[in-house]
Structure 1
Amino acid sequence: MRQAARRPQALVQITALHGVLAGLARKRRPGPRWVAASWALSVLHLGLLEERDRISAADALTLARGNLPATALGSTRWVGVAAIALDLADGRLARHQHTASPFGDYADSFADAAFWTWLTLRHEPSRAVRAAAITAWALPIATVTAIGIRRGTMPDRPRPTLLRPAAAMQAIVAMRRLLRH
């Protein structure tokens, strides 16, 4: 509540964005509950905006990407490619506009984990690929969250510089989904 009081513009922006997303998700599964969970996580992490009092355009793209499972219209054939495009766009925008923040960094990780785990568990027939998805996305998020809760502060995320297994998994899952049709 203190962070929301310090950043009322960010709270309004996040609420408005999630209102639009909820409208798009109204008749879909996982739908409004997914969007509500995204809103709650976003609001609970407003302190990660640090000195900023609003979210950036890159942050909004990241949050939209994280909500693709609830809002993706039509076929899910292209949704993996769309997620990769949004991921590249939000990163480029954050660097170009110098709006990178811990909020955006963590939102990016959560958006990736939520979207790619959902897509893989929901649409991937291979057990090996599903297991790799859990290892690449859900396990690191769960580990960092558990450490954060135990310490009472958010730890730095591990960032391998040479090998990025989650990025490789994104390409594999997106291509398998695209080619399966």
Structure 2
Amino acid sequence: MTRTRARDDARRRALAGDDSRAASNALLDGLREGRFGPAAWGRFAVDTTARSILEARKRPRAVVEATAVHLAMAALAHPRGRAWVLTSWLMTVTHLGMLEERRTLGAPNLLTIARANLPAASARLGGAVPVLALATDFVDGKLARGTGTVTRFGTQGDYLSDTALWTWFVVTHEPSTAWRAITFAAWAAPVAALAAVSFARGGVVDLPRSAWVRPAAVVEVIIGARAIGRIVSRRRDARLERGGAPT
């Protein structure tokens, strides 16, 4: 009983503290301790919601920034894409504790969030999606490192954004089955495996970025270049057809 009480006290302190990783570990440990049963999931939902509200209240400006960028992307989105934008907004405002000591999102994270929502706006943006995806992925990281604003929110948000975007992109636009499989292996599979291991161990497990992000980034560039090449080829063919049409 004493050990259980001490563990519960430690979990409450972690959830109320400023260390987002400790809070995540406490939440995952509670799930594992409850053997992932209905009661454990209920407690997880309550504790996660309370933690998210606490961290959002500390960062009202970040909430406003997140809402503004999502409203802008919703305005660009096809009606069917607005559910994607809403999901992204919920993911953002419930993970603001990962900003750590920062109280605002800042330009790098806003670029990352905008990139994550490009699929929702693809009907309007068309062939610009891969170009914007590659450009913002290059700029946000450079900007964060250059301004000393790297956070867990930005680091994890960056690769989750890329995972969602490029997985969607190859499913909807990549004609090669082989490249679709390679993209899944480079992005979606590691994220799923990492999440599964974190839940199983009852604590956050980080994948070495050099072991994953660099190969995944190469795949991202290749997929983007292939898409841009197809766009250029279609436009060239269209010009040739117009030029060869009878007058």
Work out whether the TM-score is over 0.5. Answer: yes
Aligned match of 1:90: 140
Q: How far apart are the structure 2 equivalents of 1:84 and 1:126?
A: 20
Q: How far apart are the structure 2 equivalents of 1:43 and 1:21?
A: 16
**TM alignment of 1:139-178, pairs within 5 A:** 139-160=189-210, 164-178=214-228
Q: What displacement does 1:58 show?
A: 0.4
Q: State whether residues 147 and 155 of structure 1, in contact with CA within 8 Å, keep that contact through their aligned partners in structure 2.
A: yes
Report the AA paired with residue 120 of structure 1.
V
- Equivalent residue pairs, number: 179
Identify if the C-alpha distance between structure 1 residues 148 and 75 changes in structure 2 by more than 3 Å, giving closer, same or farther: same
CA RMSD of aligned residues (A): 2.0
Q: State whether residues 17 and 60 of structure 1, in contact with CA within 8 Å, keep that contact through their aligned partners in structure 2.
A: yes
Q: What displacement does 1:74 show?
A: 4.0
Aligned match of 2:63: 11
1:91-113 CA-to-partner distances (Å, cap 9, x unmatched) read 11111211111100011001110
Q: How far apart are the structure 2 equivalents of 1:163 and 1:109?
A: 8
Q: What displacement does 1:45 show?
A: 1.3
> Larger Rg: 1 or 2?
2
Unaligned 5+ segments in structure 2 are 1-52, 235-247
1:28-80 CA-to-partner distances (Å, cap 9, x unmatched) read 54x10111111111122111100111101000001001111112354633421
Q: What displacement does 1:81 show?
A: 2.2
**Which of 72, 80, 103 is matched with 1:20 structurally?**
72
Q: How far apart are the structure 1 equivalents of 2:155 and 2:116?
A: 13
Aligned match of 1:114: 164
Aligned match of 2:179: 129
Identity %: 44
Q: Aligned to 1:64, what secondary structure does the other structure show? A: helix
Identify if the C-alpha distance between structure 1 residues 134 and 14 changes in structure 2 by more than 3 Å, giving closer, same or farther: same
Aligned match of 1:69: 119
Where is the helix percentage greater, Structure 1 or Structure 2? 2
Q: State whether residues 117 and 133 of structure 1, in contact with CA within 8 Å, keep that contact through their aligned partners in structure 2.
A: yes
Q: Aligned to 1:130, what secondary structure does the other structure show? A: helix
Report the AA paired with residue 219 of structure 2.
M
**Which of 104, 112, 137 is matched with 1:54 structurally?**
104
Q: Between 57-66 and 42-51, report the one with greater CA deviation.
A: 42-51
Aligned match of 1:138: 188
> TM-score under structure 1 normalisation?
0.90
Q: State whether residues 76 and 124 of structure 2, in contact with CA within 8 Å, keep that contact through their aligned partners in structure 1.
A: no
